[in-house]
Structure 1
Amino acid sequence: MSTLINGLHHVTTIAGDAQRNVDFYTDILGLRLVKKTINFDAPDVYHLYYGDETGSPGTILTFFPYGRIPRGRKGAGQLTYTAFSVPTASLSYWIDRLNTYSIAFAGPYKRFNETYIRFDDFDGMGIELVANDDDLRTGWATGPVPAQFAIRGFHTVTLNEANPDATIKLLTESMDHRLVAEEAGRFRFVAGPSVAAGSGSGSFVDVQHAAGELRGAQGAGSVHHVAFATDNHQTQVAIRERLIDNGFMPTEILDRNYFKSIYYREPGGVLFEIATNPPGFAIDEPVASLGRELKLPEWYEPRRAQIEAGLPPISVK
């Protein structure tokens, strides 16, 4: 079977206040706001994308900030923690930085022979920073965090599953993932060319057995979906056909301007997406000015004045 999925593409989360979201991810975590657009399915809500300099697949954390909405609850059937990769020597820097901004954190802990710390953003979104010197990505080298300490991109996503077997079957039989490690009810899978537990930052999916946990509730701070990367339109068509053959019901291919997407539910309830790597975020603005202007798909341009009037102002320092 050919490999059609080559790692993580992006994670999309629900947020509350838009400016607080921008402040946390640009000022504190030092990610770049690479795209300011709208939720294509709800144009009165921003869709904010953060990542490395160009928004490379595997670095992109995105948000729908709905304003005054209740917080979600972490639990079974959810993606509970999104882990980023940072250089091992930077972990003390990040501990100091979180303390400076009065961000409570837990750890350092050990998992799969890697050291990590854990904390939540302003809405309760679960984040981990994993110390890892195998990740050769550079992150955003000219942001507010010095280049030698900058976040490189995703390391792992954690799926909290009450009954993990069906999710594991989907990952291994339909989505090109391989089991590379197991520890204390946590199963680590990797997609794409990485073959070892320590060399696949941006491609890891951890399935955590959430025995007896309440089901998670969606709201501010909860993950809306996780997207996996595929090379192009042809590989997306092939993975869609494979999913249908294996009993899943993916959507038709949808145009998201910066990638094309299909969506489906995994057996535990987490919404999955398969997103193409091209065309990327520089399709409608230069790399040097990514994220500065509100970008709309062409079918919403006639409503620009109305849409802009309904969105709260946000700014990046």
Structure 2
Amino acid sequence: MRHHGIHHVTAIAGPARRNLAFYTQVLGLRLVKKTVNFDDPGTYHLYFGDGLGQPGTILTFFPWEHVAPGRAGVGTTQETAFRVPEAAIGYWAHRFLEKGVAHGAVEKRFGQTVLTFKDPDGTSLALVGIPNADDASAWAGGGIPAEYAIQGFEGVTLLVEDAAQTGAILTDVFGFRETGRDGSLIRYTSDAAMGGTVDVRSAKGFLPGRMGGGSVHHIAFRAEDDAAQAEMVKRLAENHGIKTTEQRDRNYFRSVYFREPGGILFEIATDIPGFAVDEDIDALGHELKLPAFLESRRSELEAKLPELA
């Protein structure tokens, strides 16, 4: 179980065209899948990731044209961090200046070089420099030289009232382990190559967060298959008294959902069947893909969804 890390992170955005342009043209990520929100099919669900669409690299968005802005606070994801080669941080700082991307000064956390920034909706993001990082699956088709390209997730930072309760879920259910402390920040890591870091910050007495544009909606953790997922569900119930939803088929993975003790929505998503189940790897993200139960509404939905080009 130690190798399990983050499968994907799903956030809320404003206009879909602006969201697509930022993540593909500014950050150089690959549009891995263009589909709809299965629970609200009048809006897109856009998936961005590496060249192969691997778990641990996928940041997804529900873009609503006129969404109200969210508010950071307790019970929310404070930051989502990507991995880049250590030598790429200077390149990205220059690129953010050139592109007018709001960003902070380069800083150090747990000995790592970190460059924070925000997307057009105010989503809090960061690039973490990884020494000697080399990932052939990093997407080089987005205009970013391969030696500087984003490789996938480093991890996330959660803001909760009680870090210990959240940490118990991370360690017992998802196989993370505590590896460091820095003030109110506790670091948990797994052996996953991508998405293997979760920082938990205790913030007693802070205002609760509010979902909206720029907010992370949920964080999905990896399960190799249905059996691994079922074992995690069992641990949640028996060791923590937490029940999940029934399993839901999301076409590219199968999911269950629950609120961890700090109030953040967690998902357990299977690695299988993957994003190439309905498109060749070379053609990922090219066409609007719908689940079978929505195919009869394709013409209606295509007319309702905003143009992306």
- TM-score in terms of structure 1 length: 0.94
How far does residue 134 in structure 1 lie from its aligned partner after superposition?
Answer: 5.1
Return the alpha-carbon distance in structure 1 between the equivalents of residues 107 and 265 of structure 2.
Answer: 28
2:129 to 115, 131, 154: 131
What are the equivalent positions in structure 2 for 1:274-293 lying under 5 Å apart? 274-293=268-287
Deviations 1:61-92 (A, max 9, x none): 00000110110011111011000001011111
2:258 to 260, 264, 267: 264
How far does residue 184 in structure 1 lie from its aligned partner after superposition?
Answer: 1.5
What are the ranges of 5 or more consecutive residues in structure 1 without an aligned counterpart? Answer: 195-199
SS, match of residue 105 in structure 1: coil
How far does residue 172 in structure 1 lie from its aligned partner after superposition?
Answer: 1.8
1:306 equivalent in structure 2: 300
How far does residue 143 in structure 1 lie from its aligned partner after superposition?
Answer: 2.3
Indicate if the aligned counterparts of 1:5 and 1:230 stay in contact, CA closer than 8 A.
Answer: no
2:179 equivalent in structure 1: 180
How far does residue 201 in structure 1 lie from its aligned partner after superposition?
Answer: 4.5
State the aligned residue count.
307
Letter in 1 for 2:263: G
Letter in 2 for 1:137: D
2:153 equivalent in structure 1: 154
1:296 paired to 2:290 = yes
2:66 to 62, 65, 68: 68
What are the equivalent positions in structure 2 for 1:1-317 lying under 5 Å apart? 3=1, 6-133=4-131, 135-138=133-136, 139-191=138-190, 193=191, 201-246=194-239, 247-315=241-309
Return the alpha-carbon distance in structure 2 between the equivalents of residues 110 and 83 of structure 1.
Answer: 13
How far does residue 33 in structure 1 lie from its aligned partner after superposition?
Answer: 0.4
How far does residue 235 in structure 1 lie from its aligned partner after superposition?
Answer: 0.7
Indicate if the aligned counterparts of 2:161 and 2:205 stay in contact, CA closer than 8 A.
Answer: yes
Letter in 2 for 1:237: A
How far does residue 108 in structure 1 lie from its aligned partner after superposition?
Answer: 0.3
Name which of structure 1's ranges 9-18 and 242-251 shifts more when overlaid on structure 2: 242-251
How far does residue 55 in structure 1 lie from its aligned partner after superposition?
Answer: 1.1
Indicate if the aligned counterparts of 1:4 and 1:239 stay in contact, CA closer than 8 A.
Answer: no
Indicate if the aligned counterparts of 1:5 and 1:228 stay in contact, CA closer than 8 A.
Answer: no
Return the alpha-carbon distance in structure 2 between the equivalents of residues 201 and 100 of structure 1.
Answer: 28
Residue identity over aligned pairs, in percent, reads 47
Deviations 1:13-64 (A, max 9, x none): 0111000000110000000001000001111110000000121000000000
Letter in 2 for 1:106: G
- Give 4+ residue runs of structure 1 displaced > 4 Å after superposition: none
- TM-score in terms of structure 2 length: 0.96
Letter in 1 for 2:103: F
Return the alpha-carbon distance in structure 2 between the equivalents of residues 264 and 4 of structure 1.
Answer: 21
Indicate if the aligned counterparts of 1:135 and 1:201 stay in contact, CA closer than 8 A.
Answer: no
SS, match of residue 240 in structure 1: helix
Indicate if the aligned counterparts of 1:4 and 1:230 stay in contact, CA closer than 8 A.
Answer: no
Indicate if the aligned counterparts of 2:2 and 2:176 stay in contact, CA closer than 8 A.
Answer: no
Indicate if the aligned counterparts of 2:6 and 2:194 stay in contact, CA closer than 8 A.
Answer: no
Return the alpha-carbon distance in structure 1 between the equivalents of residues 10 and 125 of structure 2.
Answer: 13
SS, match of residue 14 in structure 1: strand
What are the ranges of 5 or more consecutive residues in structure 2 without an aligned counterpart? Answer: none
